[in-house]
């Protein structure tokens, strides 16, 4: 059985300890997340349900708790002190109203403005297909069917932009597209997904393979090229810096018999390239990598077999 502890901060105050039980939420619960007063419950059958946490508190709150004060739920023990701790004070006794429910094997993302959600259907034949629908009425957005290419070892990704700009990012090894949700207030028409800007890698055309038949005829054969070909320029990671309003993209390429990498800083509004930073260390694609970007500091973290390597770069202003 799961429990969810919810607090208000500044000053620290207990909202409650919620028990995720079968009476209220059914069986097969695998995860619980609270965001913007919405309780998201995930299940083993790949479904997700959303509940109003405010409604749950108003209906099922047994007793308000205060740190350092006595509680009848602890037989007048002090809340927050050993050995009492914090008791369960939100006990759901029947199923609360479901605000939203959907099924997707890859999870469901909620975001954008106005609220939308992204999901992929459970059918195997629709692998790589993602739908963008309005959270209010589940109406499919115009251009809301996004087909992601799976011809690379690393899957393409689609996710809401970290800002509250109502945008969506499609990330692939050779292309990054920033999509925008266009919607008019109180309009009966569905929202529309349009491309804000796109970024593409610079690729060399592969040389055809030439074979000679027994009759002396030369035959050229072209082989399909993987999008994440380590011999070609490839997008690897993307990070957003909110204070500078920059997108930082890690890009790799093959040079002098090794994979090298650089960081491209792009304007978040237009996609224009602002700066390119070469990484000193080589990039080993067999290990996981992580990129951290905070104001004037860029950190490249690589996880090797039994240890981590952390490379820190500082952006310097050069006065002319």
What is the percentage of the chain residues whose pLDDT exceeds 70? Answer: 89
Residue 87 pLDDT > 60: yes
How confident is the model at residue 131, as a pLDDT? 94
Residue showing tokens 């349900």: 49
How confident is the model at residue 123, as a pLDDT? 79
Rounded mean pLDDT of 239-255? 94
pLDDT in tens, 17-34: 999 999 999 999 999 999
How confident is the model at residue 250, as a pLDDT? 96
Rounded mean pLDDT of 129-151? 88
- Residues 6 or more apart whose CB falls under 8 angstroms from that of 257 comprise none
What is the percentage of the chain residues whose pLDDT exceeds 90? Answer: 61
Rounded mean pLDDT of 272-276? 95
How confident is the model at residue 223, as a pLDDT? 47
Closest to 303 in 3D by CA, of 295, 315, 291, 293: 291
3-state DSSP assignment of residue 58? helix
How confident is the model at residue 215, as a pLDDT? 67
Rounded mean pLDDT of 168-182? 94
pTM over 0.85: no
Contact yes or no for 236/261 (Cβ under 8 A): yes
How confident is the model at residue 97, as a pLDDT? 96
Q: 267 or 186: whose pLDDT is higher?
A: 267
Residue showing tokens 């959303």: 50
pLDDT in tens, 201-230: 987 665 565 566 666 676 555 545 555 566
How confident is the model at residue 257, as a pLDDT? 83
Rounded mean pLDDT of 75-88? 90
Rounded mean pLDDT of 285-311? 93
pLDDT-based confidence at 187, cuts 50/70/90?
A: confident
DSSP 22: H
β-strand 2-8 against 13-20: which pairing, if any? antiparallel
How confident is the model at residue 148, as a pLDDT? 84
How confident is the model at residue 214, as a pLDDT? 65
- C-alpha–C-alpha distance, residues 320 and 316, integer Å: 13
DSSP 73: G
pLDDT in tens, 142-169: 999 998 876 665 668 999 998 878 899 9
How confident is the model at residue 165, as a pLDDT? 81
pLDDT in tens, 26-74: 999 999 999 888 999 999 998 999 999 999 999 999 999 999 999 999 9
Residue 320 pLDDT > 70: no
How confident is the model at residue 305, as a pLDDT? 84
Compute the radius of gyration of the chain from its Cα atoms: 26
Rounded mean pLDDT of 295-307? 92
How confident is the model at residue 24, as a pLDDT? 94
Q: 255 or 178: whose pLDDT is higher?
A: 178
* Average pLDDT of every residue of the chain: 88
Residue 308 pLDDT > 70: yes
């Amino acid at each position: 059985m799961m429990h969810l502890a919810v607090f208000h901060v500044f000053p620290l105050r207990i909202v409650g300890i919620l028990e995720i039980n079968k009476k209220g939420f059914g069986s097969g619960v695998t995860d619980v997340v609270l965001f913007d007063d919405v309780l998201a419950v995930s299940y083993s059958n790949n479904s997700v349900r959303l509940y109003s946490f405010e409604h749950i508190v108003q209906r099922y709150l047994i007793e308000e708790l205060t740190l350092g004060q006595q509680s009848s739920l602890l037989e007048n023990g002090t809340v927050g002190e050993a050995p009492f701790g914090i008791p369960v004070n939100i006990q759901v006794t029947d199923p609360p109203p479901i605000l939203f429910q959907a099924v997707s094997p890859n999870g469901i993302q909620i975001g954008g403005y106005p609220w939308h959600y992204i999901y992929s259907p459970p059918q195997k034949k629709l692998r790589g297909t993602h739908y963008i629908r309005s959270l209010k009425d589940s109406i499919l957005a115009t251009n809301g069917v996004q087909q992601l290419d799976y011809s690379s070892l690393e899957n393409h990704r689609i996710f809401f932009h970290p800002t509250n700009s109502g945008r969506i990012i499609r990330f692939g090894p050779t292309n990054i597209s920033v999509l925008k949700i266009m919607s008019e207030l109180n309009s009966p028409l569905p929202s529309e997904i349009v491309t804000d800007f796109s970024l593409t890698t610079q690729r060399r055309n592969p040389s055809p393979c030439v074979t000679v038949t027994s009759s002396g005829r030369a035959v050229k054969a072209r082989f399909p090229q993987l999008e994440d070909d380590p011999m070609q320029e490839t997008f690897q990671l993307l990070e957003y810096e909110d204070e500078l309003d920059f997108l930082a993209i890690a890009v790799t390429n093959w040079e002098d018999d090794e994979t090298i990498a650089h960081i491209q800083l792009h304007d978040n509004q237009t996609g224009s390239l602002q700066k390119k930073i070469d990484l000193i260390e080589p990039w080993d694609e067999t290990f996981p990598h992580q990129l951290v970007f905070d104001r004037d500091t860029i950190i490249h973290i690589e996880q090797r077999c039994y240890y981590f390597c952390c490379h820190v770069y500082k952006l310097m202003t050069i006065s002319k």
